Amino acid sequence: MTLNKSIYNLALLCFVFFSTTVMAGASSIRVVTSFSILEDLVNELGGEYVNVLNLVGRNSDAHIYQPKPSDAVAIANAELVVFNGLEFEGWISRLIENADYKNKQLVASVGVDAITFGEEVDPHAWQSFHNIRIYIENITQSLILLRPERAHSFIQNKQRYMNSLTFLESQLLEQIEKTPQDNRIVVTSHDAFGYLGREFNIRFLSPVGLNIEIEASAEDVAAVIDKIRAQQVGAIFMENISNPRLLQRIADETDIAIGGSLYSDALSEENGPASTYLNMMRHNIESLINAFESI
């Protein structure tokens, strides 16, 4: 009898605890994001009113991600799924379909000024101060649609974030203007920085194309080495999401030192130099400027 009673009390306690937890979280929007940069933006804009579950983690490559069964469960329980689009996450449509997800989907890049090469589109649109403002507007609009009563907070968060973005952008543009234009040629693992190059007048070369999934052929590598020798290449940079071996080989053959790591398709760990989107932009551009200045 006593045992039964304590089990009953325990069950009651669990029920009360669970209901309070659920009630406390009732007003948070359950969001699933496809990769770490979107996770950061949604958290910045949604603040305490979002509960974000992210699929492709920090320092991981979304181009070649293999979804897990738990991802479908996360999506099935979401109110909003945010992904980049521009064919970056080739795996996401099937995942959304498998989860039988019927709630809101947001393609964060809708409306950006995309770079295209014939049929191919460069998905790395977040590597641009101009474009990221469009992502921010899109995310804010979706949050407001889902919780109109929180609109005031979302708009305040957006304005604060936009101010930090504009401050950082003007600081970095001012710094890069002091480096000679001819020095601004960089080799990276894959073509992830076309948008950054367009805004900061930097030329990026890479042994593979837009998609890291494709392995560079001997001809691709030889062609990059020829280009490096023919031009004033300022620096070679690793990327956080890719294998450094190929770039090390190119650096050895061309006698150009590796300038460090750039964060292209994922943030660093939280204690790393690219812990947030703003820190990533600062780290990448300042590292490039340092390399150009030391030529």
**Binding pattern to Zn ion, positions 225-264, x when CB under 5 A?**
----------------------------------------
Virtual torsion, Cα 192, 193, 194, 199, nearest 10 deg: 160
**Binding pattern to Zn ion, positions 87-126, x when CB under 5 A?**
----------------------------------------
Min separation Cβ 133 and Zn ion, Å: 21
Query: For residues 263 and 59, what is the distance between their CA atoms, to the nearest angstrom?
Result: 8
Query: For residues 179 and 183, what is the distance between their CA atoms, to the nearest angstrom?
Result: 7
* Residue 44 vs 265, nearer CB to Zn ion: 265
Query: For residues 291 and 294, what is the distance between their CA atoms, to the nearest angstrom?
Result: 5
Q: Which stretch, 12-20, 97-105, 191-199, 271-279, contacts Zn ion (CB under 5 A)?
A: 191-199
Min separation Cβ 19 and Zn ion, Å: 44
**Who contacts 94 (Cβ-Cβ below 8 Å, separation ≥6)?**
none
Min separation Cβ 5 and Zn ion, Å: 60
Min separation Cβ 174 and Zn ion, Å: 28
- Alpha carbon of residue 195 to chain centroid: 13
Query: For residues 213 and 132, what is the distance between their CA atoms, to the nearest angstrom?
Result: 25
Min separation Cβ 61 and Zn ion, Å: 7
For 263, the token pair is 């964060």
**Binding pattern to Zn ion, positions 260-289, x when CB under 5 A?**
-----x------------------------
Question: b or e along 22-39 (b: 16 or more beta carbons within 10 Å of the residue's beta carbon)?
Answer: eeeeeebbbbbbbbbbbb
Q: Which stretch, 67-75, 95-103, 186-194, 226-234, contacts Zn ion (CB under 5 A)?
A: 186-194
* Residue 192 vs 235, nearer CB to Zn ion: 192
Q: Residue 47: exposed, middle, or buried by beta-carbon count in 10 A (0-12, 13-18, 19+)?
A: middle
Q: Per CB under 5 A, does 81 bind Zn ion? A: no
* Residue 192 vs 246, nearer CB to Zn ion: 192
* Residue 78 vs 247, nearer CB to Zn ion: 247
* Residue 129 vs 263, nearer CB to Zn ion: 263
Q: Which stretch, 45-53, 137-145, 188-196, 249-257, contacts Zn ion (CB under 5 A)?
A: 188-196
Q: Per CB under 5 A, does 192 bind Zn ion? A: yes
Min separation Cβ 9 and Zn ion, Å: 55
Beta bridge partner(s), residue 105 = 81
Min separation Cβ 163 and Zn ion, Å: 29
Min separation Cβ 240 and Zn ion, Å: 11
* Residue 83 vs 161, nearer CB to Zn ion: 83
Query: For residues 27 and 16, what is the distance between their CA atoms, to the nearest angstrom?
Result: 18
Say which DSSP state 255 is in: T
CB count, 10 Å around CB of 153?
A: 17
For 88, the token pair is 């970056």
Beta bridge partner(s), residue 260 = 237
Beta bridge partner(s), residue 239 = 262
> Which residues here bind Zn ion, judged by CB under 5 A?
192, 265
